[in-house]
Amino acid sequence: MSTPVKKTIPLKKVPVSKTFPQKKRASAKKKKPGNFPVKWKVALAGFLLILLSPFYYGYVIKCFTSTWRWIRDVGTDPHYRTYKSFNIRIPDKYTIHGIDVSYYQGRIDWHKVKNMSEDEVHISFAFIKATEGVVIVDPYFQRNWREGPKAGIICGAYHYFRPKTSGKWQAIFFLQNVKTEKGDLPMVVDVEELNGVAPAKMREELKAFLKYVEAKTKIKPMIYSGLKFYQDNLDGYFDGYNLWIAHYYQPQLAIESTTKWSFWQHSDKAKVSGINHVTDFNVFNGDSLAFRKLLVK
């Protein structure tokens, strides 16, 4: 008898996936632009406020200016430094500054003069030319004499002395054109040349001028002169009068310590706002209390 043959049934193929399923990773949240923490916002705001502050810029400019001055003036006297606004060097131990003017400076804007300032140097006073000899009145005197005080400048008038002409007649002419008021600076006589006369004759006429002015106004005038002219012709003869001395481009006035002087004209090349020409620059030898005592009462 034969053995029956078993039939084999082919297995069904199960498809195998090439890749296994993976878990999805949690994606990190993207930060939006400008989404800074609060503390950084505060810090940034503070920094911007500093940059935009006028005080910050003022401080930076001041530091830069001081550094530049130190570099520019290195090797020079630190007590006689350049002031850019005025375009001159100014001795620094004086606190009261002023100018003197005549027709040479033309029409002056006195308010601009008053408002000009650099590092606490500003113009407090002005001497104004009034007359010369016995016939000349400065064409700008009346305007300057009126407008200077209006702007807050303390003013004084001066006369340019001519030694060949009678000192008394010059004094009469001067007083005909100048009237002082309380708070003005004393009147000044400007004597700086001999005009061909002997020194003794010049001193005689100058003495007559001074005596007449003092007798009529009860105010002792001041004498203006260049340092060399004063030393050669006036020193020892008018010691009772306050002096205004011209001596240019020096850190200090080279005069004997016993000499009584009130004003020093230390430059003739200053640039001043409101004046279209260079002008003389002066300092007062004293503090504000001494300055007030000098004024007309």
**Strands 154-160 and 188-190, bridge-based pairing:** parallel
Residue 228's φ and ψ, nearest 5 degrees, are -65, -45
Phi-psi category of residue 195: left, alpha or beta, with phi > 0 → left and psi -120 to 50 → alpha: left
Tell me how far CA of residue 216 lies from CA of 135, 175, 191, in angstroms. 20, 9, 20
User: Catalytic one among 73, 109, 192, 268?
Assistant: 192
Give dist(CA 61, CA 71) in Å, integer. Answer: 15
Give dist(CA 159, CA 127) in Å, integer. Answer: 10
Largest Cα–Cα separation, the chain: 182
Tell me the torsion sign for CA atoms 163, 167, 171, 173: negative
3-state secondary structure of 142: helix
Q: Establish whether 73 is a catalytic residue.
A: no
Q: Establish whether 100 is a catalytic residue.
A: yes
Name the residues annotated as catalytic: 100, 192
